[in-house]
Amino acid sequence: MRSLPKPIAAFYDVFDLCMEGVGRAVLKKNYEDIRGDLYKDASDYDVLAAQGDLWKIVPNNQLKDDVVVGNVTKKQLRGLYSNYMVAEGKPGRAIYDGLMASAPLEMCPYCGVGRVSTLDHYLPKAKFPRLSIVVENLIPACKDCNMGTKGTAVAVNAESQPIHPYYEGVDFNSAQWLFCDVLQTSPATIIYYANPPVSWSPVDRKRVGAHLKSFDLSARFSFQAAEELSHVRQTFIQYYRNSPSNERRDYLVQLETAEYALRPNSWKRAMYQALSNSQWYCDGGYQ
Ligand SMILES: [Zn+2]
């Protein structure tokens, strides 16, 4: 989980740029007629997101050809994004490219392991078509996170909302909440779970669990950890085979400290922490 700075593009600038790509006069007029309505939706989104209350926005269950606002159908609202922001060669594509490039090292903010390959609608456009080009709702994400359960699921209360990288990433990284257990298997197995500080509100404590679940992060982190464990094992066999177990522990603590300085809730930090705390692993379970 990583935070990203909120995009600074104003709604009207984004909307007008998309409009430059609309060729059909009637469709363009229909879009222009709802400009103010969509601006209002974008403004409401910003207020609710800052309060952690996006779940309060009512999902739209209409069919694709149903009119949603003015003379514009659900399909046409979604088309604002796919036809005039994503489509190559359209003026609105500059917004898409800018958002895609906003994640440092192309790292997906939801998981912190995948490479950004798409924009994810935090509130999915299938259910929230009026928000399809609201930049605050567009998160650069990896394919796995974009295709995860969050892709179609809609939060029904505050505690089931995944963490929003633009609004909440910093707050949820203020303390460690990601931990793991070391199972005494051969090779060792790392199992991830959320255990947020008791000082957090009940809603926030549940939300980190919802975040893990939404993106299937426990399983994906375990997979990453298995690869990392093979490197640790090789290092111990090559350089620490005849060392006392406390030297192996010190090595793991060093790795954990370095990871902690970068990100308190990275899967690596939690893994090194758990390994260094495992007497079994340091005594020889690494083999
Ligand atoms: Zn991801």
Ligand 1 centroid – CA 147 distance (Å): 9
For the chain, give every domain's residue range: 11-156, 174-285
Integer Cα distance of 163 and 18 in angstroms:
28
Ligand 1 centroid – CA 130 distance (Å): 25
- pLDDT band at residue 149 using 50, 70 and 90 as cut-offs: low
Ligand 1 centroid – CA 245 distance (Å): 36
pLDDT of amino acid 147: 85
What is the average pLDDT across 270-274? 98
Q: What is the pTM of this model?
A: 0.93
pLDDT of amino acid 262: 87
pLDDT at 80 over 80: yes
Low-confidence winner among 73-77, 85-89, 142-146, 153-157 (lowest mean pLDDT): 153-157
pLDDT of amino acid 20: 98
pLDDT at 151 over 60: no
Q: Where are the alpha helices (DSSP H) in 34-92?
A: 35-50, 74-84
Ligand 1 centroid – CA 202 distance (Å): 25
Integer Cα distance of 114 and 147 in angstroms:
12
189-243: pLDDT as tens digits:
999 999 999 999 999 999 999 999 999 999 999 999 999 999 999 999 999 999 9
Ligand 1 centroid – CA 146 distance (Å): 7
Ligand 1 centroid – CA 141 distance (Å): 5
pLDDT at 253 over 70: yes
* Kind of pairing between the strands at 178-183 and 189-194: antiparallel
